[in-house]
Amino acid sequence: MRRVPIVPTLLVALAAAAMVALGLWQLLERKPQKEALLAQLAANPTKPPVAIPRFPDEALLFRRASGFCLQPVGFERAGAGAAGFRVIALCRTGAEGPGLRVQIGTTRDVKATPTWRGGAVSGWIAHAPDSRPLIATVMAPRARELMLVSDRPATGLAANAPPDPASVPNNHLAYAVQWFLFAGVAVVVYVVALRRRRDGRTDPRNPPG
C-alpha cells in the first residue's frame, strides 16, 4: 500500500491547525473583549459629555460629545434603512490632524442639497460609514473612524435616530464556528482525496505503472 504523501499531509495539517487556532482566538479572546466593550457602551449614553476625539477610540461610542465645524467642505450620504439616507458633512476644523465628520440628519431624497454651514455641534459619537468590503473588515480589522451625530437636524433634514448600543454586533462566536468548520472541511476533503487516490491505485482495472 502506498504511503500517505508527507508534504501535502503536512500542509493540510498546518492549515487546519491555523484555522483551529483562529477559532480559539475568536472564542477565548475576542468574544470576551467584545462583551466587555458592549457593557461599557451600554453605559456611555448616561456619562458626562466629552469633546469629539481626534483619533478613533471605540470605548467612546454613544458617548455624548461636542465639536465645532469651522466649514463644511463636502457632503456624503450613507444608507439609513427605513430613514433613507444619512447626510454627513465633511468639516474643516482649523486644527492639525484629521478633520471632523458630522451626521447632520437623514433624508429620503437622494438629491437633497444640504444648506448647513457648520458651527458648534452637540450630539453623540458613532462609527463613520466604512466602505471596505465585509471580508476586509474580518481579515484585516482596524479601528474605524468616528463621527459626531448631531442631536439637532439641519434645516430640511429629519432628526437622527438616537444611539443604540445594540447596533454593535458581537459576531465572534460565529467567526469561531466558521473557522472550526473550515478546518473540519479541509480535513474531510483531504481524507476523501486520499481514499480516492488509494482506491484508484488498488483497483485491478488500473494497474500501477
pLDDT in the model for residue 142: 59
Domain-embedded: residue 58: yes
**Any domain includes 124:** yes
How many percent of the chain have pLDDT more than 90?
57
Q: What 3-state DSSP class applies to 197?
A: helix
Sequence length of the chain is 209
| pTM summary value | 0.69
| Count of domains observed in the chain | 1
Inter-residue contact 61 to 44 (CB < 8 Å): yes
Contact 206, 200 (CB under 8 A): yes
13-68 pLDDT, tens digit each: 999 999 999 999 999 999 999 999 899 889 999 999 999 988 888 889 999 999 99
Domain containing residue 76:
45-168
Structural domain includes residue 173: no
What mean pLDDT value characterizes the chain?
Answer: 86
Torsions phi, psi of 61, nearest 5?
A: -55, 135
List the grid coordinates of 24: 480559539
Rg (CA), the chain: 26
Question: 175 lies in a domain?
Answer: no
Question: Average pLDDT, stretch 117-146?
Answer: 75
Return d(Cα 29, Cα 26) in angstroms, integer. Answer: 6
Q: Record the cell numbers describing residue 177, joined without a space.
A: 464556528
Q: Is 103 part of a structural domain of the chain?
A: yes
Mean pLDDT of all residues in 107-116: 88
19 backbone φψ class: left, alpha, beta (φ>0; ψ -120 to 50): alpha
- pLDDT above 80: residue 157: yes
In three-state form (DSSP H/G/I as H, E/B as E, the rest C), the secondary structure along 123-152 is EEEEECCCCCCHHHHHHCCCCCCEEEEECC
> What CATH number does the domain containing 90 carry?
2.40.50
Provide the 3-class DSSP secondary structure of residue 46: helix
pLDDT higher for 206 or 65? 65
Q: Are the C-beta atoms of residues 49 and 63 closer than 8 Å to each other?
A: yes
150 within domain boundaries: yes
Mean pLDDT of the 175-191 span:
95
pLDDT class of 202 with cuts at 50, 70, 90: low
Tens digit of pLDDT for each residue in 61-97?
Answer: 999 999 999 999 999 998 888 788 999 999 988 755 5
149, 106 in Cβ contact below 8 A? no
Q: What is the pLDDT of residue 141?
A: 54
Pairing of strands 100-107, 85-92: antiparallel
Largest pairwise CA distance in the chain: 85
